[in-house]
Amino acid sequence: MTAVDDEFERDSTDLLQFLYACPVGLIRADATGGITMLNPVAMQLLLGLGSVSQSMNLFAAIEAYAPELRHVVSDFGAEQGQICQGHRLFVGRSQGGKTEIPLVLACTIVKLNKDQLIVTLEDISERVAQERRLKQADAWFSSLLNAKDDFAILGLDLDGRIQTADAAVLLQTGFAEHDLVGNHISILDRPDPASSSMSMPDEIACAHRDGWHLAESWSALRNGGRYRCHRLISVRGDESGAGQQVVGYTAVLRPVAQSRMDSDKIRRRLTTDHLTGVCNRAHFFDIAEEELRRCLRTGRPVGLISLDIDYFKLVNDTHGHAVGDQVLKMVASACAAVLRPIDTLARLGGEEFTAMLPGADAVLTSTVAETMRSAIASASIEVGGTDLHVTASLGWVVGSAATGSLADLVQQADRALYTAKRSGRDRVVEGRPVSPVA
Amino acid sequence: MSSDQNAFDFATITLADLDRLDSTVINDLSFGVVGLSPEGLVKVYNQTESRAAGLSLDSVLNTHYFATTAQCMNNFMVAQKFEDEPTLDTTLDYVLTLRMRPTPVKLRLLKGSAAPLRYILILRSK
């Protein structure tokens, strides 16, 4: 071997070690997602996503978590350039089950030429968890630590009827005291007609359950207009006795700057599934984690339903993707109609949906699941003059203080769902009940 | 190839075989053999593996395998298993990232309760 070869060999070994040790997943793929090069961290992250070892295809590996990425890449018209940066994949389960934090990956894709992509993957679970904590703290601080005179305070009775309204309420809303007192607080609520925000009775129910409820919402003005506000509802206890008897509620309204209206639009885009309008995967794991924690803290159960449309691939293959999309919308709206406002319906990917039912026990959860099944089976869409029917398979489980993480719950519901598939589809199967803590 | 070598294949070779066989036989096996001390240091690295990985025996021997040579196995599917399980004989489909190329392989992980070395057998499809 010549000296030049030697030096070349050393250089390339050096370079390889550098890439091996790179703490970020690094992948080179062709336009169809076929992986041609990758470093150890990338392999490890992909293995965590499931069966990448068979396909060695990037899009197949992340299909279940970010089905949109395949299209984002194929829709990218330019010869080269950055396709996405830090796109978040919410995997929602962590291998080994040691952490409750959903695994979140940030994915950046750069197109080098028409058949070459450079992709980085990074585990940002910790960062996302921290962001969530900060966001929560931020909402608290902004609504509780601001100047006192920003606050409008209403006293409510157990039914949510306004008993008292301080001067700031009258200033903020323009209403006179006699316009408000005696009326239900709902008269101050002016939600967007299309929004899925909670109704005032729902917010009060949540406050009753958890001690408080904080929302950003629209409040009515006397002149027919409305303004954006933070609305905190907290329970008022019986102070005379030692008991925790709830005797009424205190509602605190605080106006927020109009600039938040844009953030509303952005939030909607970030939190909803573009096709069906239900909650998207990322947002689901966000709120479901929180909801589960809340339910476990208060000792209340929480129902979880997994749903998968039967033979959906066949629908797509036979009728095309446009019809497939229609079916997805139909299923989403059939399910949404069955759920309560405090429930969450999410599309987790492909033809897979999940519903979370805070406070729902086994009877309610199984009833809702069965109602969903029959609603889907009896609905239809028109395709070329004939009615197209689909069915779905469902699995459900109820979590309680004794159950594990959200990932465990989802997994149990998924298992029941597969049992439903195996035993003939168009049916509801109960997840294996979790053994109570001894 | 002698009949003796044919007797040892990827799926059936035992820990006792690996501990007993001399290095020439180990070197000639058709699959990679990596033997690790309980601390994870490379004690056995056969020629088949050395050739396939493009790493000389000298550069690998006595180094910490999962930390330096095989970061791609330093995870819950391989390295962690050796830590967690008292004994081990399991085969899995895996993808190595040697020289940044995805290389599908079959791994067989072997660990005995009293045996001095743990083994990773690596079978590359032809």
Q: What angle do CA A374, A316, A355 make, to 5 degrees?
A: 40
pLDDT at B43: 95
> Of A37, A44, A54, which has the smallest distance from its Cβ to B100's Cβ?
A37
**Residue A303 and residue A356 in contact, taking contact as beta carbons nearer than 8 Å:** yes
In DSSP terms, A378 is beta-bridged to none
- Amino acid at residue number A415: R
> Of A35, A40, A53, which has the smallest distance from its Cβ to B72's Cβ?
A40
| Sign, Cα dihedral of A275, A278, A281, A282 | positive
At B98, give phi and psi (nearest 5°): -60, 135
B62-108: pLDDT as tens digits: 999 988 888 778 887 889 899 888 999 999 888 888 788 888 899 99
Q: Which residues contact A268 (CB under 8 A, 6 or more apart)?
A: none
Question: In whole angstroms, what separates CA A398 from the centre of its chain?
Answer: 19
Closest chain A CA to residue B72: A40
Chain A residues touching residue B77 (CB < 8 angstroms): 47
Chain B residues touching residue A43 (CB < 8 angstroms): 72, 95-97, 102
Could you give the CA distance from residue A414 to residue A396 in angstroms, rounded to a whole number?
A: 8
CA distance B110 to chain A (A): 21
- Per DSSP (E only), the strands in A205-319 are 212-220, 226-237, 246-255, 279-280, 302-309
Q: Which has the minimum average pLDDT: A238-252, A357-371, A376-390?
A: A238-252
CA distance A32 to chain B (A): 16
Q: Which residues contact B80 (CB under 8 A, 6 or more apart)?
A: A96
Could you tell me if A275 lies within 8 Å of chain B, comparing CB atoms?
no
Burial of A52 (0-12, 13-18, 19+ CB in 10 A): buried
CA distance A221 to chain B (A): 58
Among A105-114, A164-173, A268-277, B1-10, which range has the highest average pLDDT? A105-114
> Of A21, A39, A96, which has the smallest distance from its Cβ to B97's Cβ?
A39
The answer to whether A96 contacts B104, with C-beta atoms less than 8 Å apart, is no
Q: Would the pLDDT of A145 be above 70?
A: no
B24 CB neighbour count, 10 Å cutoff: 9
The answer to whether B93 contacts A52, with C-beta atoms less than 8 Å apart, is no
Could you give the CA distance from residue A205 to residue A186 in angstroms, rounded to a whole number?
A: 13
CA distance A345 to chain B (A): 33
Look up the ipTM and state it. 0.71
A139's tokens: 């909402």
Of the candidates B87, B90, B75, B81, the residue with the CA atom closest to the CA atom of residue B111: B87
CA distance A405 to chain B (A): 19
Q: Which residues contact A341 (CB under 8 A, 6 or more apart)?
A: A196, A198, A199, A202
Chain B residues touching residue A22 (CB < 8 angstroms): none
The answer to whether A96 contacts B76, with C-beta atoms less than 8 Å apart, is yes
Chain A residues touching residue B97 (CB < 8 angstroms): 20, 38-40, 42-43
CA distance B12 to chain A (A): 23
Q: Which has the minimum average pLDDT: A28-32, A95-99, A139-143, A361-365?
A: A95-99
The answer to whether B95 contacts A16, with C-beta atoms less than 8 Å apart, is no
The overall average pLDDT reported for chain A is 82
Element (H, E) at A155: strand A152-156
A36-69: pLDDT as tens digits: 999 888 888 887 776 666 678 898 888 877 777 8
**Residue A272 and residue A284 in contact, taking contact as beta carbons nearer than 8 Å:** no
Chain B interface residues facing chain A, Cβ-Cβ under 8 Å? Answer: 71-72, 74-77, 80, 93-97, 99-102, 104
Could you give the CA distance from residue A301 to residue A421 in angstroms, rounded to a whole number?
A: 26
Closest chain A CA to residue B75: A44
Question: In whole angstroms, what separates CA A216 from the centre of its chain?
Answer: 18
Could you give the CA distance from residue A398 to residue A304 in angstroms, rounded to a whole number?
A: 6
Of the candidates A287, A375, A363, the residue with the CA atom closest to the CA atom of residue A331: A375
Closest chain B CA to residue A13: B99
Share of chain A above pLDDT 90, in %: 37
- Amino acid at residue number A71: H
Rounded (10°) CA dihedral A323, A327, A329, A330: 130
At A391, give phi and psi (nearest 5°): -125, 170
Could you give the CA distance from residue A91 to residue A44 in angstroms, rounded to a whole number?
A: 14
Chain B residues touching residue A95 (CB < 8 angstroms): 76
Q: How long a stretch of residues is chain B? A: 126
The answer to whether B80 contacts A96, with C-beta atoms less than 8 Å apart, is yes
Q: Which residues contact B76 (CB under 8 A, 6 or more apart)?
A: A95, A96
A257-303: pLDDT as tens digits: 655 545 555 566 667 888 888 988 878 887 888 888 888 778 888 99
In DSSP terms, A162 is beta-bridged to A156
Chain B residues touching residue A47 (CB < 8 angstroms): 75, 77, 95
**Residue A390 and residue A406 in contact, taking contact as beta carbons nearer than 8 Å:** no
pLDDT at B126: 61
B34-43: pLDDT as tens digits: 999 999 999 9
**Residue A62 and residue A88 in contact, taking contact as beta carbons nearer than 8 Å:** no
A365 CB neighbour count, 10 Å cutoff: 26
Of the candidates A204, A371, A226, A285, the residue with the CA atom closest to the CA atom of residue A215: A204
